[in-house]
């Protein structure tokens, strides 16, 4: 796992721009704390920061191969889990390897198959190849969007990077956000290709972007397609388990210490148990908790139980080497932590204490491990969220995860919707997304609606959380792998009818059935509970103090009027009020750090 960046310019000599490419590369230092390197030619400059995971001495980048017609150079971020099979195939075709890294497998795969190498990769990756033979840049991103990848067209080429900060370090890119960017920022729908910063684009998951002197082109090499599901229930459950065993086996390959993230829910517990079954030593597991959370826990509308008892049940059941990372309210509310989170994400997107705790969890884990496996994305794949099972969301022609949110926010949401024209934005983007969904002839109306809901989660919602996971983890140099995002599993479960996904009249029936034999009964029976949030009232009180201390002249009040959060500063603090304070403080931190120009 690493950070990549680069610059292609057909009208200038980039060998005279070493300082600029160095500055762009330096912004990725957190993503790659182990090594750095640049490769510079007249038309192309590549930068790389490395987090060494496989072939520690031999996987240095940028990596290049000289050919009679010019060099082919690459910067690569991520992991290719089927690299051993691909290496054997390439060796059979005459390719000679000088390292044992997956990076060289991808590079030599490109030499052999060109852009079609993307079709052969199983993994999470974002990489760029400068092909001097054709004076072309090729940018490829993984199918699910696990690894971030951005580019910024210029008058004579392009800038690119793992994160916007790498691009914004170049003087050609300006930190500007317009109204359309603000809509995307507050929309919570992750429009494919949209990067929020004006002029910047995201490499859409499953696409190949090429840059030549003639311009920029993009083509899709993978998309989520509808197919008839022909397996019976027993076969379906067995195949899900077969896929999971293979996926976990592949993703446990590492030359550095690894661990699992454990929340006590079905998803992370399944990954933990399946990992433990494949390792000869006890698997390390880590969980986040809050001071006094278990003892003082109060059920709310989304969390019926605290995580800790279930975490410990799993740790005892599969005999993990377990560590709880316990956080207090002052640490969660620390402005320095908030700034670190904003710097990691480049944007004031945030889930308040849940972002802070995730960042702090990863920071603590990094002291002991370099690679972690996560249960992220199982809810989107298997149908775990409440909205999948909410009759209102099921029959509402709208973004499923926003239906309940808008109802909770009430007038405050209406105010923001009207000011930015969000209603039309959501409506147009929703219509475009739904139009992408292919209907299987045998599907009735309800089954197709559930397919649509699944598609929206897998192509929009999950990308928000994957980006969050990547940014929080890579900010501290931790590689987080997401087994549930293996495209084979995603394709198979996506095409399994809703009746099978809920065959036991519960959420995530297929996953429960596939992993039941390796889990404690308490976890098998546990109702879905989201990522934990502190219930300590002292946390809210500290937020109130920090907001009161903001000067009235701060730019944040031009975006979020003080009157809008005034009710949250007086009397008892509701969950909605606390969320409003978190959003305001996050926005203030972003404005202080990036000082963006806001234009219409």
Helix, strand, coil percent content, the chain, rounded in steps of 5 = 45, 20, 35
The residues annotated with a catalytic role in the active site are 2
Per-residue CA distances from 358 to 113, 287, 302 (Å): 39, 10, 19
What size, in residues, is the chain?
Answer: 600
Output the six-digit token pair for 461: 């919602």
Is residue 345 within 8 Å of 304, Cβ to Cβ? no
**Residues in a beta bridge with 325:** 288
Edge-to-edge, what's the strand order for the sheet holding 207-212? 63-67, 70-80, 123-131, 136-141, 207-212, 215-220
Sign of the torsion angle spanned by Cα atoms 588, 590, 595, 600: negative
**Residues in a beta bridge with 129:** 74, 138
Q: What are phi and psi of 64, to 5 degrees?
A: -140, 155
Report the C-alpha gap between 510 and 121 in whole angstroms: 26
Is residue 406 within 8 Å of 428, Cβ to Cβ? no
The residue assigned the tokens 């109702």 is: 527
For 523, other C-beta atoms within 10 Å of its C-beta total 23
Residues 6+ apart with CB under 8 A from 481: 79, 124, 251, 371, 372, 373, 374
Following DSSP, what letter does each residue of 384-421 receive, concatenated? Answer: -SGGGG-HHHHHSSS-HHHHHHHHHHTHHHHHHHHHHT
Is residue 166 within 8 Å of 28, Cβ to Cβ? yes
Output the six-digit token pair for 297: 């826990």
Output the six-digit token pair for 434: 């739904």
Residues 6+ apart with CB under 8 A from 75: 2, 4, 5, 6, 39, 46, 47, 48, 61, 62, 63, 127, 128
Is residue 496 within 8 Å of 509, Cβ to Cβ? no
Report the C-alpha gap between 207 and 51 in whole angstroms: 25
| Helices 575-594 and 537-549: angle between axes, nearest 10 degrees | 40
SS3 for 152?
strand
* Strand 258-261 relative to strand 371-373, pairing: parallel
Residues 171-190 as b or e (16 or more Cβ within 10 Å = b): ebbebebeebbbbbbbbebb
Edge-to-edge, what's the strand order for the sheet holding 157-161? 35-40, 44-50, 2-9, 157-161, 150-154, 201-202
| Helices 462-474 and 335-345: angle between axes, nearest 10 degrees | 120
Report the C-alpha gap between 108 and 114 in whole angstroms: 9
């Amino acid at each position: 796992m690493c950070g990549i960046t680069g610059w292609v310019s057909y009208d200038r000599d980039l060998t005279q721009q070493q300082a600029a490419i160095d500055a762009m590369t330096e912004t990725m230092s957190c993503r790659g704390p182990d090594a750095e390197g640049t490769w510079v030619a007249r038309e192309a400059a590549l930068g790389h920061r490395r987090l060494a995971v496989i072939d520690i001495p031999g996987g240095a980048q940028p990596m290049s191969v000289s050919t009679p017609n010019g060099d082919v150079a690459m910067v690569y971020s991520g992991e290719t889990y089927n690299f051993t099979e691909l290496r054997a195939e390439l060796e059979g075709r005459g390719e000679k390897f000088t390292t044992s890294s997956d990076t060289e497998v991808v590079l030599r795969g490109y030499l052999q198959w060109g852009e079609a190498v993307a079709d052969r990769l199983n993994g999470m990756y974002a990489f760029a190849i400068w092909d001097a033979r054709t004076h072309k840049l090729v940018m490829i991103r993984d199918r699910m969007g696990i690894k971030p990848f951005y580019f910024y067209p210029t008058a004579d080429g392009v800038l690119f990077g793992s994160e916007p900060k790498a691009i914004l370090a170049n003087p050609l890119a300006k930190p500007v956000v317009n109204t359309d960017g603000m809509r995307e920022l507050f929309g919570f729908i992750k429009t494919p290709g949209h990067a929020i910063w004006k002029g910047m684009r995201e490499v859409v998951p499953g696409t190949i972007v090429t840059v030549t002197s003639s311009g920029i082109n993009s083509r899709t090499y993978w998309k989520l397609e509808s197919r008839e599901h022909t397996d019976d229930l027993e076969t379906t459950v067995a195949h899900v388990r077969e896929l999971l065993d293979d996926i976990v086996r592949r993703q446990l390959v590492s030359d550095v210490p690894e661990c699992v993230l454990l929340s006590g829910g079905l998803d992370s517990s399944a990954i933990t148990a399946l990992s433990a079954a494949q390792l000869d030593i006890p698997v390390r597991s880590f969980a986040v908790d809050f001071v006094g959370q278990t003892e003082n826990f109060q059920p709310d509308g989304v969390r019926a139980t605290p995580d800790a008892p279930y975490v410990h049940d799993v740790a005892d059941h599969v005999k993990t080497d377990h560590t709880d990372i316990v956080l207090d309210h002052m640490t969660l509310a620390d402005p320095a932590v908030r700034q670190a989170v904003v710097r990691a994400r480049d944007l004031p997107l945030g889930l308040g204490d849940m972002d802070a705790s995730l960042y702090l969890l990863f920071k603590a884990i990094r002291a002991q491990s370099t690679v972690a496996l996560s249960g992220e994305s199982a809810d989107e794949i298997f149908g775990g969220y409440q909205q999948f099972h909410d009759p209102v969301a099921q029959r509402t022609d709208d973004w499923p995860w926003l239906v309940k949110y808008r109802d909770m926010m009430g007038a405050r949401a209406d105010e923001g919707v009207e000011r930015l024209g969000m209603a039309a934005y959501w409506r147009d983007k929703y219509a475009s997304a739904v139009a992408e969904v292919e209907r299987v002839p045998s599907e009735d109306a309800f089954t197709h609606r559930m397919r649509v809901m699944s598609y929206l989660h897998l192509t929009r919602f999950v990308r928000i959380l994957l980006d969050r996971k990547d940014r929080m983890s890579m900010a501290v140099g931790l590689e987080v792998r997401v087994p549930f995002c293996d495209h084979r599993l995603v394709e198979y479960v996506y095409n399994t009818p809703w009746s099978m996904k809920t065959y036991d009249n519960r959420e995530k029936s297929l996953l429960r059935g596939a992993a039941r034999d390796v889990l404690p009964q308490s976890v098998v029976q546990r109702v879905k509970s989201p990522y934990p949030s502190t219930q300590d009232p002292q946390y809210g009180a500290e937020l109130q103090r920090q907001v009161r201390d903001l000067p009235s002249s701060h730019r944040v009040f031009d975006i979020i009027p003080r009157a809008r959060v005034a009710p949250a500063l007086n009397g008892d603090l509701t969950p909605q009020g606390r969320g409003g304070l978190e959003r305001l403080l996050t926005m203030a931190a972003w404005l202080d750090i990036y000082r963006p120009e806001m234009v219409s």
